[in-house]
Amino acid sequence: VEKMTFENFEIPRHTQKIDTPYFACLKVVHNSSLDGRTIDKGLWKMDVKGRVALVTGAASGIGKSCAVELLNEGAMVSICDINTVEGEKLAETLSTEYGKDRVIFCQCDVTDYSQFEESFQATFATFGHIDIVVNNAGIMNDRFWELEVDINVNGVIRGTLLAQRYMGTDRGGQGGIVVNIGSNVSINPYASVPIYSATKAAIVNFTRAFGHQYHVDLTGVKVMALCPSATDSKLLEDVGKQLLLPRYVDAWLRDVASSVPQ
């Protein structure tokens, strides 16, 4: 494992496929601002015990792993997902393991601002506050690129703006953390998924801008990104049908074989 610094946090570089994400909000290094100047050296840690986290796309994959990790660390978690069946099933399972007072499920379509805000409202009403928001919901399907853009880009923007509203100290909140889930293609785009790569690159630049100390000073909300490589999740099922053209399959296999988290 080789350490690699990216923007305002440090994550381990893996040389093999991963199926559990390194949860960035637990270990952050502030080492550079947008213009490259060093603003702080040293490790920043957040104790998530007793904190409240809202995780989108939490019924499976990386979102589910984040939810479980947060619960393991003592947090309360709002599992938000468009898939009601899987989401409620997971919430029931986790409630049995961690306690009914620590887990709720909210049906959440991140393309629907009103429903997305209802998830924040339900989480706030249940737990009294929100400390962590993980904007994880995403799809990879270049054939349905308009939906892909709406979920991957607009969904993250909606989630971040809602997090600012419900956690910002300038709005009466206590401050908090926003973790936007990008991808290794945020930094190194895949030729096989050009539109998906563009959506994930947008997440990183959006996060860089909102993660600037200027916004942190205004709102008390830290915004950061986590960029994992290929993970063992439903996102990669039947990839051939998700590529813009069937002939991109060979390029996809080459891209994935050389992928590492960023």
Closest CA to 228 of 55, 38, 61, 60: 61
158, two tokens = 């909606």
Q: Is 105:86 a contact under the CB 8 Å cutoff? A: no
- Where on the phi/psi map is residue 220: left (φ > 0), alpha (ψ -120 to 50), or beta? left
Q: How far apart are CA 23 and CA 21, in angstroms?
A: 6
Q: How far is CA 94 from the centre of its chain?
A: 20
First to last CA, the chain: 13
Sequence-ordered alpha helix ranges (H) in the chain: 61-72, 84-98, 113-127, 145-149, 155-167, 194-210, 213-219, 249-257
Active-site option among 98, 196, 214, 248: 196
Residue 190 bears catalytic tag? no
Residues with catalytic function: 196
